[in-house]
Structure formats: C-alpha cells, structure tokens
Amino acid sequence: MEIRFEENGAKAYNDEGKEVGLCEYYEKDGKWVLNHTVVNPSMKGQGIAGKLLDCVLEHAREKKVKIVPECSYVAHAFEKNPALKEEFE
C-alpha cells in the first residue's frame, strides 16, 4: 500500500499500482475544502481513509493552510478530535 500526495489531494495505491482510495480537496478563499474521501469497498476497514486524511493534513501543516471539512468522513474526524478542529479551522 502506498499513499501519495498529488494535485488536489492524496491517493492510495495497492501493491499492483491500482488506485484504491482518495481524499480530495479544492481551494477556496485560501483554504482547502476537503470534499470527497472514498476507499474501494474491498479495502475498507484497513485504516486507509485515515491515512489519506493524515497525508493531506501533513501537507496542509507544511503550507500553513486551514481546512474546511465538507465531506462527512473529514467532518466526523474533526468532531472526534477537537485538536484537529482547533489547528485547522
């Protein structure tokens, strides 16, 4: 499994190089709006969505960008972890 930060988000690839998940964003008013997180159903339950989100957040930290959690997965992660909400919103 490989997680890569690419233009407008992070993608997960299996050992054969096939894309199996992504966490996408678009820029608005200098912030990253995380609007879509999805993992191939056959790969669910392996923590891939969390790793994708971590990858995007790591790059947001480096660039000092705030996050708008638009997709339900990211919104739930921010609600579960108030430190994320405080850091990025």
Give the pLDDT confidence of 19-78 residue by residue, as tens digits. 999 999 999 999 999 999 999 999 999 999 999 999 999 999 999 999 999 999 999 999
Structure confidence by residue, pLDDT tens digits, 18-29: 999 999 999 999
Domain count, the chain: 1
Cβ–Cβ < 8 Å for 11, 3: yes
Query: How many CA atoms lie less than 13 Å away from 57 in the CB half-sphere?
Result: 18
- The pTM (predicted TM-score) of the whole model is 0.94
CATH code where residue 31 lies: 3.40.630.30
Q: Please give the residue range of the domain that contains residue 48.
A: 2-88
